[in-house]
A and B are shown apart, each in its own frame.
Chain A
Amino acid sequence: MFRYIDCIDAGTEFCPCNLADTGECIICSQLRGKTFCDCLNWKGSCIFQEYYWNHNKSKKVREFAEYVVVDKKYIRDDLIKFDIQVNAHLARQLNSIGSYVFLKNPKSPEFFSTPISIMKSNLKNNQITVVVKIIGVKTKNLGLAGDKILLKGPYWNGIQGQVFLKGLKNSTLFIAARGVAAAPALMVAKKLKLKGNEIIVALDVGRHSENFAKKDFTDLGCKIIDVSMVDYSKYSLKEEFIKIIAELKKKYEFKVILSAGSDEFHELLLNHLYQFDNSLKFATVNNGIITCGEGVCGSCEAKLHNHLIKTCKQQYNPAELFIKPKGEV
């Protein structure tokens, strides 16, 4: 049976990583204790060869560096937007679908670092924009940061199902975005606009009159629909949203969907759409509890077909994870 396997770091300057040192490489069978090549997903470079040429050790890991916070603005009482001045190299690396970084208040210990998606990366002035939702210890602490911030990156696995997005050209993408998940969705919209795609964005109004990213989506030329998506009393999609999806599907005949919300929302949306058209391709924002970003700590692991997936760096097909055959809970 075909297994979709991909490592977002394979073939990059960070590959081979610590996983190769410990015989746990996601892609290379030789670096997983086998003595025979069984490379399912070839990315154009041989990880085993890279490891050998690097004197049988992994490449240097990403490290924290201090950057300047150019602007810090409270969009809402629990939503902060940071503009951070980085260098040109990092800005370029973060200007891609799914990119995220670890951020930390310089005064706090290492374990306060938290993964945050990149909303925008401006290649003209080398500034990145992120939006942080304050939900717990780490994000509260980050909110206390002054004009300096520690940043570790780049990481790229903030979106799952990237293969479906990156291949989309002169077509239509449907994005359903809720809350702070609209930030990584904006990066997707920007990239896909450049490939001639039409982008339809359903934005959940949530507790406020409109989503914080609405203006940015509009500026990109996306078609925006404000809608209330979820009925919290029974945790299901609202009739109003279901009706809008049906109309949009008919009108735009989209084949690829980005679900930008919680895992519970992914499950609702993907199962709803899949029952009408099982040829649809799905991408989802990655809600894994990412702590190290290197596939080591295990906090982000998800189980799929009896295999553990390190979701901080391993790609999976969201349809396989979230779509449940009828009757299965």
Chain B
Amino acid sequence: MRIIVIGGGWAGCAAALQAKKCGAEVLLIEKTDLLLGLGNVGGIIRNNGRFTAAEEMIALGGGDLFKIADNCARHKNVDFPGHKHATLYDVNRIEPEVRNYLYSKGVNVIFETRVVDVGTEGNRIKSIYLFDGTEIEGDVFVETTGSTGPIGNCLRYGQGCSMCILRCPSYGPRISISMRAGVEDIQGLRGDESFGAMSGSCKLVKETLSEDIQEKLNKDGVVVLPVPKEDINVEKLNMKVCQQYALKEFAENIVLLDTGHAKLMTSYYPLEKLRKIPGLEKAKFVDPYSGGKANSIRYLSMAPRENTMKVCGLDNLFVGGEKSGLFVGHTEAIVTGTLAGYNAVRAGLGLNLVELPITLAVGDIINHENEMKKSIEGLKLRYTFAGANYFERMKKLGLYTTNVEEIRNRVRSLMLEKFFETRII
């Protein structure tokens, strides 16, 4: 059985890996020359409820990628405003680690290849078409192309191309596979009901910061610098993707995290203003290159899905990551991608599809987001273990814990220990 995964970000890697672990032949198609997509510029895991989710996945047997990220950590147990016990992985080290791991498991990957269309037969996708017209047939498909708009969308809904890691001019824009197969996309809303949301962070070249700041970043992983009063812009928080970081503290302060580069926790920050802050006089953006002006726009293309991650209205298309909902973050992408990859194999075998139990945070978030998305208000929210409304919900339901033994017991009592490790073909 051949599973084709389209999009090699965290969700796509997780789906490909899981489908392979289940025993399928897997082809992962990535439009750029790098796996992990935004995982090359993110770097934050295990903060707040993400700790619980990561440990749940490890107990479920689907934690391979978390272990790799842990091994690439620059800092563990970091606290910063609104966030506790974060792990910051090195964005400059992680991609080859994941790539080699996928290769070692036997996942086939093709790079610099853009999928632009599908061939369908009734409610099934029969094949996909590459940019040059090449047709590739498969049994089940997983779309993890994200929801980030190409340049045109970044222009219409944002402030134009900011030259982000997706590098549309070089590799071309993403295409909505589900829409090509006839399923209308869902689009996320901002507070003012305009579409999309702006990506929430940038990277500064660490070497362009003062020696004090570099030293503190290397030692503690975090530096908080006050923003001059006249430059505080609370309004900007409303347009952010990452509502877990849309806190007053992030408007009044510059929060820098050490992920290899200095991660600046704001959507964009004009360089002129940034350089007014002591220690940042020579600061330079490295991602996006035009991080002083803009950032990428997301949530413009999500597929309606079931809690099994199958796309509604299609028999053999599954989705993960941002493509599957208003999720934010690597952890969320790995969770949804893993389930998508698992159920893709089951669908290929004609088996019934599974949902993750809502007594685990990883199951609850998938279920909860799907419910919430049905309302206009729900479309304005983002869903992440790391903060905002969903972390509140985790705490309220008693799902949040940092007690690893307790998490293992929960999974054990559901008889789901090493669930994702079982080969089903």
Given contacts A36-B153, A49-B152, whether A42 and B117 have CB atoms under 8 Å apart is no
Instruction: Flag B331-359 by CB within 8 Å of A: 1 or 0 each.
Output: 00000000000000000000000000000
Given contacts A2-B119, A52-B155, whether A37 and B160 have CB atoms under 8 Å apart is no
| Cα of A35 to Cα of B131 in the assembled complex, Å | 22
Question: Is residue B43 contacting chain A, with contact meaning CB distance below 8 A?
Answer: no
Closest-CB distance, B89 to chain A (whole angstroms) = 31
Stretch at the interface among B62-70, B167-175, B231-239, B407-415: B167-175
Question: Is residue A46 contacting chain B, with contact meaning CB distance below 8 A?
Answer: yes
Question: Is residue A278 contacting chain B, with contact meaning CB distance below 8 A?
Answer: no
Contacts of A185 in B (CB 8 A): none
- Number of contact residues on A: which range applies? 20 to 34
Pick the contact of B153: A37, A40, A44 (CB < 8 A).
Answer: A37
| Cα of A42 to Cα of B195 in the assembled complex, Å | 24
Contacts of A39 in B (CB 8 A): 150, 152, 172-173, 175
**Which residue on A lies nearest to B149, using beta carbons?**
A37
| Cα of A52 to Cα of B160 in the assembled complex, Å | 10
Instruction: Flag A22-46 by CB within 8 Å of B: 1 or 0 each.
Output: 0000001110000111111110111
Contact B151 A37 (CB under 8 A): yes
Pick the contact of A2: B114, B116, B149, B161 (CB < 8 A).
Answer: B116
**Which residue on A lies nearest to B133, using beta carbons?**
A2
Question: Is residue B300 contacting chain A, with contact meaning CB distance below 8 A?
Answer: yes
| Cα of A41 to Cα of B160 in the assembled complex, Å | 20
Question: Is residue B105 contacting chain A, with contact meaning CB distance below 8 A?
Answer: no
Given contacts A37-B173, A42-B172, whether A3 and B117 have CB atoms under 8 Å apart is yes
Contacts of B160 in A (CB 8 A): 49, 52
Contact B131 A42 (CB under 8 A): yes
Contact A40 B116 (CB under 8 A): yes
Given contacts A4-B133, A37-B173, whether A48 and B151 have CB atoms under 8 Å apart is yes
| Cα of A37 to Cα of B160 in the assembled complex, Å | 13
Contacts of A37 in B (CB 8 A): 149-153, 173
Contacts of B155 in A (CB 8 A): 46, 48-49, 52
**Which residue on B lies nearest to A40, using beta carbons?**
B116
Contacts of B129 in A (CB 8 A): 2
Contacts of A52 in B (CB 8 A): 155, 160
Question: Is residue A1 contacting chain B, with contact meaning CB distance below 8 A?
Answer: yes
Given contacts A2-B119, A42-B114, whether A35 and B175 have CB atoms under 8 Å apart is no
Given contacts A45-B169, A49-B151, A49-B161, whether A35 and B114 have CB atoms under 8 Å apart is no
Contacts of B116 in A (CB 8 A): 2, 40-41
Contacts of A36 in B (CB 8 A): 149, 153, 185, 300-301
Closest-CB distance, A233 to chain B (whole angstroms) = 39
Contact A2 B300 (CB under 8 A): no
- Most A-side CB within 10 Å, residue of B116, B131, B160, B300: B116
Question: Is residue B156 contacting chain A, with contact meaning CB distance below 8 A?
Answer: yes
Contacts of B176 in A (CB 8 A): 38
Pick the contact of B152: A3, A30, A44 (CB < 8 A).
Answer: A30
| Cα of A1 to Cα of B133 in the assembled complex, Å | 10
Contact A46 B150 (CB under 8 A): yes
Question: Is residue B135 contacting chain A, with contact meaning CB distance below 8 A?
Answer: yes
| Cα of A37 to Cα of B195 in the assembled complex, Å | 13
**Which residue on A lies nearest to B161, using beta carbons?**
A49
Contacts of A30 in B (CB 8 A): 152, 156
Instruction: Flag A1-21 by CB within 8 Å of B: 1 or 0 each.
Output: 111100000000000000000
Interface residues on chain B, number (Cβ under 8 Å): 30
List CB contacts (< 8 Å) of B98-136 with chain A: 114, 116-117, 119-120, 129, 131, 133, 135
Given contacts A30-B152, A52-B155, whether A38 and B175 have CB atoms under 8 Å apart is yes
Contacts of A28 in B (CB 8 A): 152
| Cα of A37 to Cα of B300 in the assembled complex, Å | 10
Pick the contact of A40: B117, B169, B170, B301 (CB < 8 A).
Answer: B117
Contact B175 A46 (CB under 8 A): no
Closest-CB distance, A162 to chain B (whole angstroms) = 13
**Which residue on B lies nearest to A43, using beta carbons?**
B172
Contact B135 A2 (CB under 8 A): yes
List CB contacts (< 8 Å) of B49-92 with chain A: none
| Cα of A22 to Cα of B129 in the assembled complex, Å | 30
Closest-CB distance, A220 to chain B (whole angstroms) = 28
| Cα of A3 to Cα of B180 in the assembled complex, Å | 11
| Cα of A2 to Cα of B128 in the assembled complex, Å | 9
Closest-CB distance, A239 to chain B (whole angstroms) = 34
Pick the contact of B168: A3, A38, A46 (CB < 8 A).
Answer: A46
Closest-CB distance, B128 to chain A (whole angstroms) = 9
| Cα of A40 to Cα of B135 in the assembled complex, Å | 15
Closest-CB distance, B298 to chain A (whole angstroms) = 13
**Which residue on A lies nearest to B129, using beta carbons?**
A2
| Cα of A167 to Cα of B302 in the assembled complex, Å | 36
Closest-CB distance, A148 to chain B (whole angstroms) = 43
Instruction: Flag B290-320 by CB within 8 Å of A: 1 or 0 each.
Output: 0000000000110000000000000000000
| Cα of A39 to Cα of B300 in the assembled complex, Å | 15
**Which residue on B lies nearest to A2, using beta carbons?**
B129
| Cα of A147 to Cα of B30 in the assembled complex, Å | 57
Closest-CB distance, B197 to chain A (whole angstroms) = 15
12 A-B pairs (CB sep. < 8 Å) = A2-B133, A4-B133, A28-B152, A36-B185, A37-B149, A37-B151, A37-B152, A44-B169, A45-B169, A46-B151, A46-B168, A49-B155
Interface set of A (CB-CB < 8 Å, partner B): 1-4, 28-30, 35-42, 44-46, 48-49, 52
Given A37-B149, A39-B172, 12 further pairs, Cβ under 8 A:
A2-B129, A2-B135, A36-B301, A37-B153, A38-B175, A39-B152, A39-B173, A40-B116, A41-B116, A44-B169, A46-B168, A48-B156
Q: Which 9 A-B pairs have the closest CB atoms?
A: A42-B172, A2-B129, A46-B151, A37-B152, A48-B152, A2-B117, A30-B152, A37-B150, A37-B153
